[in-house]
Amino acid sequence: MNKTESSIEGGCQCRAIRYRLSAMPFNAGHCHCRMCQKSTGSVVGSWMHFLVEQITWLAGKPTEYASTETRKRGFCSTCGSSISFHDTGDPKYYTLSIASLDDPNLVPAQYHIHTASQLEWLKIKDDTPRYSASRG
C-alpha cells in the first residue's frame, strides 16, 4: 500500500457514518440490476469490494435491511445515503458504494453487470467488460 492509499476515507452525506480503508478494493464495478437502481435511487449502483478487515468504522455504521434472504444493504439512518452491501453467506467480504468515498475518482469501475436491466436511454461509452447478468 502506498502513502495515498493509507488515508482513503469515506462515509455518508451527513458524516454520521465514516470509514477508513487499509487497502484498495480487490474489485469494483457498476451494477445495473433493478434492486441496485431502487436501493440507490440511481440508474446504476457503483460498488467496490473489500475483505471485512480492510474497513475501519470511524463513526457510526450502516443500518441494514435484508433485500433478499442472504443479502443486506446498508444506509445511513440519518441522511439515507446508500453505503453498503454484503452477502451473509460469505461474511469475510464487504461491499461499499464507490460514491461514498471522499474522492470517488480513486476507484475506477472494472466492469458492468446486469446490463440486461440497463436503462435504454443510458449510453455508456467506456471500454470495461459488460455482463448481461452477474459475472460469476
Question: Is residue 74 situated within a structural domain?
Answer: yes
Question: Is residue 4 situated within a structural domain?
Answer: no
Q: In the prediction, which pLDDT does 7 show?
A: 75
Angstrom distance (rounded) from CA 7 to CA 45? 24
Question: Is residue 134 situated within a structural domain?
Answer: no
Mean pLDDT of 71-89: 96
Question: Is residue 36 situated within a structural domain?
Answer: yes
Question: Is residue 127 situated within a structural domain?
Answer: no
Domain encompassing residue 108: 17-117
Question: Is residue 61 situated within a structural domain?
Answer: yes
**pLDDT tops 90 at residue 109:** yes
Q: Hey, CA dihedral for 98, 101, 107, 108, is it positive or negative?
A: positive
Q: In the prediction, which pLDDT does 6 show?
A: 52
* HSE-CB of 11 using CA atoms within 13 angstroms: 18
Q: What percent of the chain has pLDDT over 90?
A: 93
How many domains does the structure of the chain reveal? 1
Question: Is residue 124 situated within a structural domain?
Answer: no
Q: In the prediction, which pLDDT does 5 show?
A: 46
Angstrom distance (rounded) from CA 80 to CA 98? 16
Banded model confidence at residue 135, pLDDT cuts 50, 70, 90: confident
**Domain harbouring 56, CATH code:** 2.170.150.70
pLDDT tens track for 3-23:
444 579 999 999 999 999 999
Mean pLDDT of 117-124: 95
Angstrom distance (rounded) from CA 1 to CA 13? 27
Mean pLDDT of the chain: 94
